[in-house]
Amino acid sequence: MDLFNLTGRTALVTGSSMGIGFALARGLAQAGARVVLNARNADRLAEAAKTLRDEGAQVDTLVFDVTDAESVRKAVDDYDAQHPIDILVNNAGMQHRGPLEDFEVEAFDRLMRTNVNSAFYVSQAAGRHMIERGQGRIINIASVQTALARPGIAPYTASKGAIANLTKGMATDWAKHGLNCNAIAPGYFDTPLNAALVADPDFSAWLEKRTPAGRWGRVEELVGACIFLSSPASSFVNGQTIFVDGGITASL
């Protein structure tokens, strides 16, 4: 369907050498987009790119640290001059668990830089070019913790709440320039970031009871929402956070 066709579009996905970012990049490529993988680890990035190229995807790579504003600006500016970036997925993120009363200040600052500052840096760098062209899609990866909290991850919860409101702010400022800025909030997915929880049988049992769908999510189940928000099908959707969570935020 043409509504979901991304042929001729270029999509930059941050933090895309593995996990959710890699799955989203693969899905965007399958919908026809040229994908630009980003990470700090060049070797891991090259391996991810080779996997997608072997599947027939058009793939480029950009090695830069999303928490370094100057590196972000230079990388995005240089690449956009060759291949205009139509779609940006801000996926890079981290988790750090610990009791709030003992949470280290350095860990808090690092988490906020990685989860919030990076989305601002990359969106601003790419957004300036999108504004010049009068169109663009920005998709921020939020979390079920955008709406809910659990013990031991208060700073992470704060960062993902910030992502939802940053998304609203982006839409409010940039919709008039032809940009669509939205967020996807995954529930509990089996990813490297959640490896400790997946390996905990007690937590998995609790999650299966707590989630109406009765299971962990699979990263491939996020692809449809990403393609929708990247495509003409969502032309009048702006400032929204779409929860893909098996129903966990819908039930007590």
Q: Of 176, 179, 173, nearest to 139 (Cα)? A: 179
Give residues with Cβ within 8 angstroms of 174, minimum separation 6: 127, 130, 131, 138, 181
Is residue 79 part of the annotated active site? The answer reads no
Give residues with Cβ within 8 angstroms of 109, minimum separation 6: none
- Terminus-to-terminus CA distance in the chain, angstroms? 37
Check residue 214 and give left, alpha or beta (phi > 0: left; psi -120 to 50: alpha). left
- Taking a C-beta distance cutoff of 8 angstroms, is the pair 230, 201 a contact? no
Q: Which of 79, 121, 156, 188 is catalytic?
A: 156
Give residues with Cβ within 8 angstroms of 50, minimum separation 6: none
Maximal CA-CA distance, the chain: 52
- Kindly state the tokens that stand for 241: 């956070």
Four-CA torsion 165, 115, 37, 1, nearest 10 degrees: -30
- Taking a C-beta distance cutoff of 8 angstroms, is the pair 62, 75 a contact? yes
Could you give phi then psi for residue 217, rounded to 5 degrees?
-80, 155
- Taking a C-beta distance cutoff of 8 angstroms, is the pair 140, 186 a contact? no
Catalytic machinery residues: 156
